[in-house]
Amino acid sequence: MTRLRWLTITVFALLVSACADHDAGLSVLKRGLGTEPESLDPQMARSVQAADVLRDTGEGLVGYSADGRVVAAAAESWEISEDALEYTFTIRENARWSDGVPLTAEHFVHGMRRLVNPDIAAFYSQSVASIDNAACIIVRECDVDELGVEALDDKTVLIRLERPVPYLLSLLTHPSTFPVRADLEGQDRVTTPTVSNGAYAMARHDPGSVIRLIRNEYYWNNAATAIDVVDYYIVTEEALELNRYRAGDLHITSNVPPATFQSVRERFPDELKVASYLGVYYYGFNMTQPPFKDNPKLRQALSMAIDREVLVEKVTGRGEAPAYSFVPPGVNNYIPPKLSYADLSQEERNDIARSLYAEAGYGPDNPLTIELRYNTSDTQRRMALAIQAMWEEVLGVETVIVNEEFQVLLANIRKREETEVFRASWIGDYNDAQTFLDLMLTNSASNLPGYGNPAYDELMVKAAEQTDLDRRRLFLEEAERVMLADHPLIPIYFYVSKHLIKPEVKGWQDNILDYHYSQHLSLGEPD
């Protein structure tokens, strides 16, 4: 056995065997995770929870600072051509994987090829459709090795674009663009990243319980990493997570329960962190099956009958804003258009909703009976019950609510067979309207409702062709206006990020994307 491998195994064994913080003198950060990640394969993961873990275990060419700025990461520098169609990245000489293997340009090429490979069917494949040949690879009209991502040498990556992408650097922070080693595929080390190129590697994963990460001693910036071990505790019940925080079992919560938010604010005023956040909570319709297929009046009626102001005041009550657009406010260079009835009173909306409901073929003698599905969570249950009551009171709709484990819900939504109305959300992957509007493209893997409108698709294509950012914004805004008029979904509210942070956690900074890498944090004496 080589000395390098012996050292690696020794470090792993030491850290994995550490059962308590003080037993081995290690600093252990305990974070709450609201749901079991559906995958820890960087190209296959899609949830916020998976991305939280992957940003600790992996690293892209660029990353984010603690306050949400794009900064150099695995690449120490980059150059952009005058026409903005070529980006050349130089990887750090001291960048290594957690087993000591040097990080190379080819690892990024392989990861990007996996992302667009139709056999992988990656959720985020369409996000890189502007890279040369990516779109035709996704639909099997080009070979994967024709992708416009090339290793010029061991440490230089060239990305060629079909058109300028103003948000490309932000996009390359996303875990779906992270590097992958071909030699680790088939060993289950991609889906369970015990070998990784980020600040941490996974030492243990007990599904539904805990994910333990240990620091990567070979990480290029390891000297600046303060935390030795990160434990992500999977706690789906927000009340239970709060109890564990109060008991000292967590340093950071993933959320704060609505029912106890005010008492938490009073008891822990200095530990509660609430900040603006690029995220929208919505209900989606199954647009491929009756009763919502080809029935926009019914979809609009259900949307108008929801009193969003009541929901954010009485159900969530944590600073959320009612949503009358799909793209949240605060996105760079964008003014979200609103639903046509946004400025009406709720009473006026209800009157119009009843008329539309009748025109759609429903009424007291023929009430709509539908099924509403949501993922298991106290907050989701409270929201579903409130909307069920609103639909019944305003329209006489009979709603059966069904809760499902998150991964089961996603699978059923994608089948588009039984699901009729479903709870969903979208969190911006980068600060640009495109990260929201791309979801509703006809061929997008993220298009959960199954919406398709050629006019919308055409506007999005025209927006992508623009080099003038103001002209691009106009096309994007018109695309959202078209989609909102079709009502394939119901925007309900815009998120704020909500966390409880123990006083001994240092380095936390609020940012609009709510990205908080463990490597930016440390543990010290409370102030």
What's the rounded Cα separation, in Å, for the pair 198 and 437? Answer: 30
Burial group, residue 467, by CB count within 10 angstroms (0-12, 13-18, 19+): exposed
What's the rounded Cα separation, in Å, for the pair 422 and 319? Answer: 24
What's the average model confidence in pLDDT over 241-262?
94
267 φψ region: left (φ > 0), alpha (ψ -120 to 50), beta (else): alpha
In this predicted structure, the answer to whether residue 281 has a pLDDT above a threshold of 90 is: yes
**pLDDT tens figures, 10-31:** 344 444 444 444 446 899 999 9
Of 62, 83, 88, nearest in space to 164 by CA? 83
Indicate the average pLDDT of the chain: 92
- 3-state DSSP call for residue 333? coil
Residues of the chain with pLDDT > 90, as a percent, come to 82
The predicted structure's pLDDT at residue 450: 97
What's the rounded Cα separation, in Å, for the pair 428 and 412? Answer: 23
**pLDDT tens figures, 299-348:** 999 999 999 999 999 998 888 999 999 999 988 889 999 999 999 999 99
Q: Hey, what are 422's tokens?
A: 């479903």
What's the average model confidence in pLDDT over 513-519?
95
Of 340, 343, 356, nearest in space to 483 by CA? 340
Supply the DSSP string of 25-71, one letter for each residue.
T--EEEEEESS--S---TTT--SHHHHHHHHHH---SEEE-TTS-EE
The superfamily CATH assigns to domain 3-235+501-523 is: Periplasmic binding protein-like II (3.40.190.10)
The predicted structure's pLDDT at residue 488: 98
Query: At residue 201, what is the residue type?
Result: A
Neighbours of 148 (CB within 10 A): 19
The architecture (CATH level 2) of 276-497 comes to: Roll (3.10)
The predicted structure's pLDDT at residue 510: 93
- 3-state DSSP call for residue 314? helix
516 φψ region: left (φ > 0), alpha (ψ -120 to 50), beta (else): beta
pTM above 0.85, yes or no: no
The predicted structure's pLDDT at residue 258: 83
The answer to whether the peptide bond before residue 291 is cis (omega within 30 degrees of 0) is yes
Binned at pLDDT 50, 70 and 90, residue 259 comes out as: confident
Query: At residue 175, what is the residue type?
Result: P
Contact predicate 518/31, CB 8 Å: yes
Query: At residue 257, what is the residue type?
Result: P
Place of tokens 């992958």: 180
Contact predicate 267/256, CB 8 Å: no
Contact predicate 422/448, CB 8 Å: yes
Contact predicate 256/500, CB 8 Å: yes
- 3-state DSSP call for residue 6? helix
Per domain, the residue ranges of the chain are: 3-235+501-523, 276-497
- Spacing of C-alpha 268 from chain mean position: 28
Contact predicate 306/491, CB 8 Å: no
